[in-house]
């Protein structure tokens, strides 16, 4: 079951430094929300608050109407540093099994689920491959498969494709869109890439820095399914990219 996310008056200070101030956000059930902003604006910190990895000094984060008090099993996080997110001593199957083990899935029921998940992310037949034997794109696919094994209501993604080459990144963008459409998860996606934000999102949130605060919300009115060439050539896509570019030019001053 998917879940909406609500942040009401969320503020956070760490070590006497104000990171986020007065964040009010409503992320609808099943929505794909992207977040952009200059370095230091608190994009990743905002994601960590939603994940329950950090507690706000003021305000409240809710998922499905329930206050977030810590990490939840129905919330999965895909990190940018896929190398550290995976267990190098476990095979692909073993890494995906980690999530199933935490859920209490009996050992006899894990193998078919693991095969299905790996196939869904383009890693069919790679069950016995170790992370070190995989490319960066394959490692990120594996991390996504492990997250999907949780059957999350909320999928939090922190610049997951930032370290990948352009072709691999575009391929994974399309795979994520297809997987999210299939699962119906509510997605919160942090990125520094404005074109990526427009291509993936239903809307884009723009943050200002020092402290981080919501400055703009841009609705993305592009048809789905999206196409790497046709969508990016649409006048509406170019208009949205320019709107976000103009925002970033001001935000980075």
Q: Is the pLDDT score of 2 beyond 80?
A: no
Query: Average pLDDT for residues 153-164, to the nearest whole number?
Result: 90
- Looking from the CA of 68 toward its CB, the CA atoms found within 13 Å total 32
CA distance 107 to 184: 27
CA distance 72 to 74: 5
The CB density around residue 108, as the number of other CB atoms within 10 Å, is 7
Domains in the chain (CATH in brackets) are 1-74+154-165+185-253 (3.40.50.300)
Instruction: State the pLDDT at residue 87.
Output: 94
Long-range contacts from 176-184, C-beta under 8 angstroms, 24+ separation: 176/144, 176/200, 177/32, 177/224, 177/225, 177/226, 178/225, 179/120, 179/121, 179/144, 179/148, 180/32, 180/155, 181/224, 181/225, 182/120, 183/148, 183/151, 183/152, 183/155, 184/2, 184/30
pLDDT tens sequence across 189-238: 999 999 999 999 999 999 999 999 999 999 999 999 999 999 999 999 99
């Amino acid at each position: 079951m998917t879940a909406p996310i609500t942040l009401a008056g969320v503020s956070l200070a760490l070590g006497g430094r104000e990171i986020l101030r007065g964040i009010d956000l409503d992320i609808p059930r099943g929505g794909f929300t992207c977040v952009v902003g200059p370095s230091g604006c608190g994009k990743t910190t905002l994601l960590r608050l939603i994940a329950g990895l950090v507690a706000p000094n003021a305000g409240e984060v809710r998922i499905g109407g329930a206050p977030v008090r810590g990490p939840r099993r129905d919330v999965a996080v895909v990190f940018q540093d896929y190398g550290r997110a995976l267990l190098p001593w476990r095979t692909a199957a073993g890494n995906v099994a980690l999530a199933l083990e935490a859920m209490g899935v009996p050992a006899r029921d894990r193998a078919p689920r693991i095969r299905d998940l790996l196939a869904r992310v383009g890693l069919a037949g790679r069950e016995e491959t170790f992370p070190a034997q995989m490319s960066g794109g394959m490692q990120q696919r594996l991390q996504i498969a492990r997250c999907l094994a949780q059957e999350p209501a909320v999928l939090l993604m922190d610049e997951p494709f930032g370290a990948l080459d352009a072709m691999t990144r575009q391929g994974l963008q399309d795979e994520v869109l297809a997987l999210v459409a299939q699962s119906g998860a509510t997605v919160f996606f942090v990125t520094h890439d404005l074109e990526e934000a427009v291509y993936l999102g239903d809307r884009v949130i723009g943050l200002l820095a020092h402290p981080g605060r919501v400055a703009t919300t841009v609705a993305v009115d592009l048809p789905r399914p999206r196409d790497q060439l046709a969508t990016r050539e649409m006048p509406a896509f170019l208009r949205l990219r320019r709107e976000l570019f103009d925002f970033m030019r001001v935000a980075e001053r």
